[in-house]
Structure formats: structure tokens, C-alpha cells
A and B are shown apart, each in its own frame.
Chain A
Amino acid sequence: MFPTRLASWLVLSLGLLIVPGAGAGMEKKPVHVGLDAELEYAGSTSAQAIRMGMLIAMEEINRAGGVLGGRPLKLIERDNRSLPARSLVNLKELAAQPDLVAVFCGRFSPTVLEAIPLIHELKLPLLDPWAAADAIVDNGHMPNYVFRLSLKDSWAMPVMLSHAQKQGAKRVGLLLLNTSWGRSNLKAAQAHVAAHPEIRVVGTQWFNWADKSLLSQYQALRQAGAQAVAFVANHDEAARLVRGMAALPKEERLPIVSHWGVSGGDFFQDAGPALHELDFAVAQTYSFIGASDARAKQVLAAASRMFGVKDARALPSPVGVAHAYDLIHVLARAVDKAGGTERRAVRDALEQVSGYDGLVRRYLRPFTPERHEALGPENVFMARYAPDGAIVRIADR
């Protein structure tokens, strides 16, 4: 905690030092950016990773003179505990905040999905650095106030199934969280299987939030003839499955290809040593490990400086950090382009931003009026947990 505090203090001090040097006429009134995410959710690291990415990017921007000719960006946080009901209350509060230009959401698709009608009612731009359900962006609203710089379920599932197929699995079982996120993935899987007859889905099993054990569903899939399991779950349910599978005989442990929800929390710690006895692959969009570009180094240095993160391997939920970082830079450009904090203008400007060489990729135009997805299927890859808990990309053979 100390480094975090110290870092905040340093940011403040540098700001004070730099502002006079930045020249006269710089407005001191901050431009607010909201965050409504699962900050208090037990064992979750996704919201913290998103905040880290936001703060690192905001610090860079503020140090470089802020937005709108000198106004600093400032973060306002709200915790929604992953609950849509709380999220709706939070969003209304944030919308009432003057000079708030946009709100970042968290990991949980159902929570975000529930907020979509309210977002459009409030005309509040929602920037999504994680939640993957297709319907978040494909919401049918025009103009659409949702912008995503993240994975999309319909991209993740083909990668996961292809990976299983590469491992030699022809019959796959689906083990899905019984939420709109899970159902979003079922659609994606069905779409992929329809296009690829060489792989077959032998069964679909659902589990619920806070289910004590997923083993019966897993065994049902195995008995249905599944050679691998495509797994859509969050970190806590995933840890439960892994611990349960570890108790099974070796021959009953099927390879798992997992959606990336597991990387949003303390999965590695919760799953324990059992994880190393399984073939457990997880979808990802970005990894700091092996990144050699200057921006990645700069972010890692800031993470180390501001949050005491030792190195790239120790960075939790790295996709959250990377996506949030890039989104803040895109937002800053959009605010400048909009020339003010008026949200409709900012929303319109987001579709006009161009030429940002970001951390995850180089964005010619992150968003257009027709496309509110900043990433693409080509950004998706499978990774594996290293013994130290670092998420390491699996090299294509």
C-alpha cells in the first residue's frame, strides 16, 4: 500500500511542479472519468487492473499537460459488487457529476448488459475494457454510446475450440456459467461448430454463480464423450472446478480451454498446485511478458513506480491494465477533439479518433460510427499459467 500512496503523492507533486511550467491559461478544473466496477468483489483483480491502467495513462496525459489545453483527468470510482442493481444506482450518480465525460465498466458482462438501456437514456459514453458479451456493443442503440477495447465472445470461442482441436479433441463439452455471458458464448460455440464440422459439441452443462461444485456437470460432459471442455467461468468457479478435477484420477482429467474470465481474479492462488496437473489453457488478448516496445516498458515502469508491481510476470490481470490504458489515451484524444466535456460531443469524437499507437496494438481508427470494437479476432491467443502464476502465451506450432 505504501508505494501506492507514495505514488499518488508523487503524481500530485509533479503536477504542481509541472503546471506552472506548462504555461498560462491552463484550466485547473479537472475532467472526470468514471469507473463503475467490481472493486469490492472478493478475490477479483480485474477492477483493480483496470484502475491501474487508467491511472497510469491519466498520469502520462496529465504530465503531458492534460486535456482541453491543461485540464487534468481525474478518476471517480464506484463499486457495483458485480450487481446490476448497484451499477444502475452508480451510473446515475456518475452521470450527475459535472465534467464527467465517460464511464469505464468492469469485467462482468451481465452487469454491463443490464446498464445498456440506462446508459443510452443518460447519454453517457460507456467505455468497456473487459466485459466480453457480444450484446454489450451489439445493443441495437443508435447512436451507440458503448465503446469496447476488449475481447468479444464470438472471437474468443473459435480460438478456444480451435486450440482444443489442435490438442486433438474432436468432441468438446461446453461448461458454461448460467448467465447472459454464458449464453453469449453458447451462441458463439454453436456458430463456430456449424462452420467447422470437424469438431463437435457433445454436451452443454450450466452452472450457477456461487455453485459449490462443478464436478457433476464436468462428469456429465466426460460421460457424454467429451475429449476437452470449453469452460466459460469467472475466477472463483474455475478454481472450484480445478480443485475438484485434481481429486479425480489422471485419466479422467480432460484438457480445459477456458475463456479469460478466470484471469480477472485470484484464480492461480485459489486453484493451487492442482492447476499444474491439468492441461489448462486460457484465452488472452495481450501479454506484457516478452513485450519489448517502449510503451510497454513505460507502462511497466509506471506500474512499478506507482503500484509497486515488480515486473511483467507479477502484474495481475494484465489484459485489464493494457485495455484500460489504451482506452484512456483514446478518450483523451476524443475529449480534445470534442473541445469540451459535453458527453454527446465526446461520444461523437470517440468515433473520430485516429492514429493512436497504443499498447495492445496500433490503432488507425479505434472506433468508427459503424464499428465500436477497437480490437479484432486477430488479437486473441491462448495462454497458460506458468508455475509463478504469470500468464504466458502458448507459441503457435
Chain B
Amino acid sequence: MSLRPVHWSKTGRDWLATSFASRVAFLALSLTLGVALGVGALSYAALRVQIEASIRQDLEAQTRLVEERLHFALDEAGEELETLSRNALIVNGLVDSQGRDAYLLPFLRDFRLALPGKQDIALTLHDFSGAPVIDAGQGIAIAADVVGQALASGMPQARIVAHQGEAYLELVQPVHFPPTRSIEGALTALIRMVPLLGSAGTDLSEGLHLHLRAGERTLARTGAAQEQDIHVERTLRLGAPFDALGLRLTLASPAQRVQGPLNRLTLIHVAGIFILLPLVGWFAYRGARRLVAPLERLGATVEHIAGSGAIMAPPPIEGPDEVGRLADAFGRMLERLHTAHEELEQRVRERTEALGENRAFLADLIEHSGSLIFVKDREGRYELINRKWETVTGLGRDEVLGRTDLELFPPPIGETFRANDLRVLAADQAEEVEEILNDATGMRYFLSVKFPLRTADGEVRGLCGMTTEVTERKRAELLTTCGQHVLEMIVGGHDLKEVLERLMRDVEAMTPDMLASILLLDADGVHVRHGAAPSLPDAYNRAIDGAAIGPGAGSCGTAAWHKEQVIVTDIETDPLWVDYRELALAHGLRASWSTPIVSPTGVVLGTFGTKTYAFIGLERVGGVMVYDVSTPTAPSFVTYLNSRAGKEPGELEFRAVLPDGRIRVINGRGTLECAADGRPIRMVGTAQDITEHRQAEGQLRKLAQAVEQSPESIVITNLEAEIEYVNEAFVRATGYSREEAIGQNPRILHSGKTPRETHQALWEAISHGQPWKGEFINQRKDGSEYVEFAFITPSASRMGASATMSL
């Protein structure tokens, strides 16, 4: 029938867990108990310290009292003994030993020091050797050495001696013998210690332990002190000669004297706790119950809401406290929740409509985009294409959707597309690829951005691409590349045939299935000469060479004649190609596109890529100048081809007047190529605009002159501190000739008297590229000294590789 403890503790935990009031009451009880115990422990400790201190103080006062009384008593005894030693009767006694029994012995026997317990004092008179003359010592042994010390020193001596288990103070006073003014004896007083100490206050109040020691000897002891008792020890200061006794007094108070009050305090404290705890528990529980009552009502409301699903405000809670505010706030929250719920539903409806609109917009955007847009699944089957895609490829939606590139495009193109798709899928990120489509209009270049498409759970399900046609831009790039090649070749001194061949190859590269040729118009302006046609058969070229231009003279001849572009779509049928049809057809040519290269002002202009060049013939000097005229307002000189110089490379410097009137200085170098009969064919070389160079040379010359003629010494060194240049003033100032100075270190000027700090500061500045100025004490070649103010600056050479220092 008995309940097990575990059962109780479980019940207690449940009780705590289910009721906030229980927890508050429990907490209050714990806190109260903790504080009460803490305060109790602290007061216990504090009281203990206080009681101990007070007892200690008490003991110290007692030891002081004992010391003072003992001091007083012994002082009295000492003084009295000294007075007695001066007594005429005592002096008499030293001389008159016959009278000792008659009067001195009774005198000494009856004499009493002014001490407590007078009957316990025994006096003895000693002669100069320490032997007792008159012994009233009642048979107590006197320490002879103490008497000896007193006689030898003339000073009183004290010693503790024992007789029959009792301690005596032996006090020896030397006797001064007036007639001879010497110490001729000593007076010894033996004083029983017990009454002396008793009167000095060692009969202490009950319960105290006393221990008086002289050195290691115990003189008085009451009770036996325990280890835990409170001890006070004092070395008694009693003045000479009593300090020599080394009296130490220990007083101890039994520990029970501390324990009594402490036990009473503990009892009161425990009783207080037993009364306090039930009160605190009851009040705390009642208070907490009252506190959580609103919460319980709130709980009921919430329970109702949870059950019904209808959000409703709880009844208002009375009271301005936290719980009241919490309930009110909860009510407001419920209201706000209700409003927010309705707003949310409204917004969901609006969003649903907007989403539908967006989807239509997006579809339109894709459909009408200027780029080709498509979506494929992982196997490359088209899922979506837009109109542009249809337009560019010419394939309809019905035939495309559900099919792959391999099915739609010829093998090389379809395979390339598929390969690009797979790479994007593998990389799992957007990529930009260039793709080429070859159709009836020729090579078409596209730039496609392809990126993987993901399902909602992040899995790649296909890819999307946006493709823009870049054919025009691609062509322009190719033309630019081509023009650069031609220019490089011209400047590099290649001959015209090579240049033209390269040009033709570049043009062919731009347009596959097209063969290119260039014909040069002869000087007569009627016949054309073979320029370059690297892909055309030699037989064809030979047939053309020397043909005359004119209307109907082939497409090139007609273009040159009319100075306009001629396009022949079918050589087989076109009348322009009557003369060369067989030849052209025999070599597989079917269509032609001819354009003349002409200048309206007689200057031949050539367009290479984005740049246009002007070729200006210079009749008088027999050369051709080439200008870049891409920017109409500022033509720049490119090269000059000279045909007049001999076979050896020639050099010519001349002034050229530019179309805008500016004058430039040109330096041309070139080699003339001549035919077998000596007729010059062409000139290969370079032309350089050296206008700025010439101007710079002029300035440098002026600067050099200024430096050379400066009245200040100027030195230029390289980074290895070797002198590279000195001016005339330096030669005059130092006595070193220019030949002696150059290649030397400026150290040759050092006198050794310039402070070391000056050189350190100089190199610190120079190594950081900063100018420096300061004073040197230097030495001439003949050894004489002079003071020089120096300004030193680092400078960069034209090469920028070595810095120099000018001094």
C-alpha cells in the first residue's frame, strides 16, 4: 500500500509542469531558502570573525595589563634593592662580619621588598668574590654566575632559578663600597614567582588558559590550551635587566567561548526559516494563481478559435499588467490576422489574372523577337521556335516541332548544332557560340546564346537558344583583316604581285565558292594586265592579260569602262561574257561580280577593310605616296614608293605638301626594280614622316649648348655612379679634365669632411626618385678644398633603362 518515492517525484514533476503557479511558488520557495541560507552563512562567518577579534583584543589587553603590572612590580623591586644596596648597614656588613649574627642577618631576614607576597623573598649579601657573606637565602641555591656577572658588570642581573619545583626570580644588585669607590659585593634577592605573577594579573578570569614561559621554562600555567583555541602570545618588555629573562606570555581562550553565541544564532536562524518557508510558499502560489487566471481565459478563447476556425477577438481582460496587455495584444493580433487573411485572398486573385497576361505577353515577345528563339528537349527535339526562326531557316513550325537538327539540316551543319547543344548541357551553363548556316544566299553567320532549361526541381530538361545573325559584321571583320594583311605586305616591301595575290585569297576566304582576280589597267588606260588571281587557271589568266576594256568586254572590262559595278548571274547566257564564255565555263565559272577601283580626282583610292587609302603618284620623283584617308579631314601618310633610285637601296629626304597645306618632312628609302632593258618597273621601299624627329633634334642641340656653357658645374652619372658627362664649368672648378673625369666615380671629389649623414640623406632621396640639395666639402685635383652647394636630381634616359644623376 505504500507509495514509492519515485512515484512522489513523478507526481511532483507533473504538478510543476502543469501549473505556472506551482512553478512560481516553487521558485519563490527555492529563492527564499537560498537567500536565507546565504544570509545565514554570511552572518555566521561575520559573527565568528567578530567574536574572535573581540576575544583576541581582550586577550591582548590582558597580556598588556600583565606586562605592565609585572613591569611595575619588578621595577619597584629593582629600585628598592638598589636603594638597599646603598644602605650603610649593608656596606657595614661587608666590613663587619663579626656583627652578622647580631644584627645584619636579622635585618636581611626581616627586610621586605615592596612586593606582593613579601614573606617569600630571601636576601643574601655576597662579598667581592661572590661568596655569601650573610646568607638569608633559606637554603635556596643561588646561581653563582649571575652574581659574578653583576659584580663584573656593576649592573643588576636577573635570572629565573628553580628550587624544589618552584620558580624564583634571582635579582642581583651589585653593592658599591663608597670608601674605595668600587664594587665590593652584591645583594641577591630571591623572589618567589607565583605570588608575584598572581598579583600581576595572571590569576585570570575563569576559562582562560595562561602560559608564562622564561625561555623554555614554564613559570605559570593554568589549564591546557587546545590547538583550536584562540591564542595570543606576547614577549614581555620589562626593561633591563628583566628583558634578559625572555618572558613570554601566552593567553588562550577556549574555542567554546566562540561557539556558544554562534550556536544560538544558528538555532534562531533555522527556526526563522521554518516559519518563513510555508508563508512564502502560500503567498507565492496564491499570487501566481491570480496572475495566470487571465491566461486561462485567453486559453479558452484560443481553444474555441482552433475548434471553430473562425477568428474572433477574445473578451477584454481587466487589469493593466503584462498579462492584461498580452491578452489585449492577442485580441488585436487576431483582428489584424483576420484583415490580413482577406487582403491575402484578394491579392491571390489579382496575381492569378496578372500571370495570365504576362504569359501572353511573353509568347508575343518570343514570337516577334528579332532574334531566332528556340527550345529543345534533352534529345534535341524542337519544342518551340519563333517566327524569325521560320523566316531565317525557311522551315515551317509544322515540320520543325518534334524533330531534331540532324533531321532538319545537312549533316555537317546539323551535327555542329547538336554538338554545341550537348556541350552546353554538359557544362550546365549559358554559352555563346558562333554558328554558320550555308544557304542559297551564301555563308550566314550567327551568334547564339544557349542555356540549359530546368524543371521546377532543378533538373535539366532541355535547352533554350537565342540566335542573332551577324553575317554583315563578320564580313566587315574579314575585310578589315584582309586590309591589314595588304597594308602589312606593302609596308614590309613585298612586291605588288604578292600583295594582290594575298588580297585575292582573303577575298576568296570571305566568300566560299567564289574565285577572285584583280586586273591592273595599263598605262594606256585601255588594256588590262593580269594582277593577281591565285585560284583561277593560268590559261584563263593568260587569255585575259592584255585584253582591252570597253562595253561588253567581259564583266571586268565593262566595269572598268563604265567605272561601275557589273554583276553577271549566268555567264553561260550573259552577253558580256560572249568573248570569254567558253574559257570561263571550261573552268567552272558560272557567275561574276566586278567592281572598278577608281578615283574621281585621278588619285586612285583603294578600300581595304574599313580603311581607305589614297595612292598619289609623284611624277617628278618617280614614286608613289600612300595616305590613309579613312578620316576625310586628317589624311595621314602611310608610305612612299620610289622608282627613281638605282639598284642600290636609296635614301631621299624631301618635303611633302599635304592636301590641307601642311608641310611634312619625309624620309624615303627604297630599291628600284628594273626590267631587262633597264626600264624601271617598280620601286620597293619605305617612306617615314620625320617632321617631329627633326624638330626634336633642334631642341636637343639648343639644350646641350646651354648645359655646356652653364656657369655651374654639371655632372651626369649613370646608376653605377660613373660620370658620363661633365661641362666646362666642372673642368674649371675641379681641375680635372673631361677625359680624366668621365668613367670615374664622383668620389674623387670627396675630401672626407662632408658629414656622413649628408651622403646618407642624398642616397635616401635619390633612390626614391626625389631631388636633393645640400652642401659638400669637396677637394680639387690639386688637393685644395672648396665648399659646394649641390642640387642633385635623378633623371630617366630616353631608353628609360638607366637613371642618371646630374650634379
By a beta-carbon cutoff of 8 Å, the part of chain A in contact with chain B is 38, 40-44, 81-86, 89, 108, 110-111, 113-114, 135, 178-181, 183, 207-212, 236
Contacts and interface: CB of A to CB of B under 8 A. Distances in A.
Nearest to B181: A42
A114 B127 contact: no
Contact of B96 (A40, A81, A209): A209
B306 to A, nearest CB: 124
B184 A210 contact: no
Given A114-B98, A179-B98, A209-B96, A86 B128 contact: yes
B187 to A, nearest CB: 15
A42 B177 CA distance: 11
Nearest to B95: A110
B772 to A, nearest CB: 104
B179 interface: yes
Nearest to B104: A178
B39 interface: no
Interface stretch (B85-93, B166-174, B230-238, B513-521): B85-93
Contacts of B103: 178
Nearest to B126: A85
B180 A40 contact: yes
Contacts of B128: 83, 85-86
Contacts of B182: 81
Nearest to B89: A208
A41 B99 contact: no
B576 interface: no
A210 B99 contact: no
B783 interface: no
Given A208-B89, A210-B178, A83 B127 contact: yes
Interface string B97-113: 11100110000000000
B179 A42 contact: yes
B133 interface: yes
A59 to B, nearest CB: 29
B129 A114 contact: no
B28 to A, nearest CB: 93
Given A85-B94, A135-B98, 10 more contacts: A42-B181, A81-B182, A82-B95, A86-B184, A110-B97, A111-B95, A113-B98, A179-B95, A180-B98, A210-B91
14 contacts: A42-B181, A81-B179, A82-B95, A84-B95, A85-B128, A85-B184, A86-B128, A113-B97, A178-B89, A179-B92, A180-B99, A208-B91, A209-B91, A236-B179
Contact of B88 (A84, A183, A207): A207
A211 B88 contact: yes
Nearest to A236: B179
A110 B179 contact: no
Contact of A210 (B102, B129, B179): B179
A85 B89 contact: no
A77 to B, nearest CB: 15
Interface in B136-190: 177-182, 184-185
A89 B95 CA distance: 14
The 10 tightest CB contacts between A and B, nearest first, are: A180-B98, A208-B88, A85-B127, A179-B96, A209-B92, A211-B88, A110-B96, A208-B92, A81-B180, A210-B91
B544 interface: no
B264 to A, nearest CB: 68
A210 B96 CA distance: 13
Contacts of A40: 180
Category for how many chain B residues contact A? 20 to 34
A201 B87 CA distance: 28
A83 B93 CA distance: 10
Nearest to B90: A208
A357 B710 CA distance: 149
Contacts of B88: 207-212
B24 interface: no
Nearest to A85: B127
Nearest to B182: A81
A98 to B, nearest CB: 25
Nearest to A183: B99
Interface in B66-125: 87-89, 91-92, 94-99, 102-103
Contacts of A135: 98
Nearest to A180: B98
A82 B179 contact: yes
A89 B128 CA distance: 11
Contacts of B194: none
B177 A81 contact: yes
B131 interface: yes
Contacts of A43: 179
Chain A CB within 10 Å, residue with most, of B97, B131, B177, B178: B97
A287 to B, nearest CB: 27
Contacts of B127: 83-85
A82 B127 CA distance: 12
B107 to A, nearest CB: 10
A42 B181 CA distance: 8
A83 B95 CA distance: 5
Chain A CB within 10 Å, residue with most, of B95, B178, B181, B185: B95
Contacts of B131: 85
Chain A CB within 10 Å, residue with most, of B133, B180, B181: B180
Nearest to B87: A208
Given A85-B127, A85-B128, A178-B89, A108 B95 contact: yes
Contacts of A85: 94, 127-129, 131, 133, 184-185
Contacts of A113: 97-98
A85 B177 CA distance: 13
A124 B152 CA distance: 32
Nearest to B94: A83
Contacts of A180: 96, 98-99
A300 to B, nearest CB: 30
Nearest to B98: A180
Contacts of A114: 97-98
Contacts of B177: 81, 83
A211 B89 CA distance: 8
Contacts of B92: 178-179, 208-210
B343 to A, nearest CB: 130
A89 B89 CA distance: 23
A86 B99 CA distance: 18
A233 to B, nearest CB: 12
Contacts of A84: 95, 97, 127
Chain B CB within 10 Å, residue with most, of A38, A110, A181: A110
A178 B179 contact: no
A78 B485 CA distance: 153
A83 B184 contact: yes
A10 to B, nearest CB: 32
B129 A209 contact: no
Given A208-B92, A209-B88, A41 B179 contact: yes
A105 B98 CA distance: 17
Nearest to A209: B92
Interface in B464-515: none
Contacts of B97: 84, 110, 113-114
Contacts of B89: 178, 208
A330 to B, nearest CB: 28
B389 to A, nearest CB: 155
Contacts of A86: 128, 184
Contacts of B98: 110, 113-114, 135, 179-180, 183
Contacts of B91: 208-210
A209 B128 CA distance: 17
A166 B138 CA distance: 51
A44 B185 CA distance: 21
B180 A42 contact: yes
A82 B177 CA distance: 10
Contacts of B180: 40-42, 81-82
Nearest to A178: B92
Nearest to A181: B96
B663 to A, nearest CB: 149
A38 B180 CA distance: 9
A180 B92 CA distance: 10
Chain A CB within 10 Å, residue with most, of B89, B94, B97, B98: B98
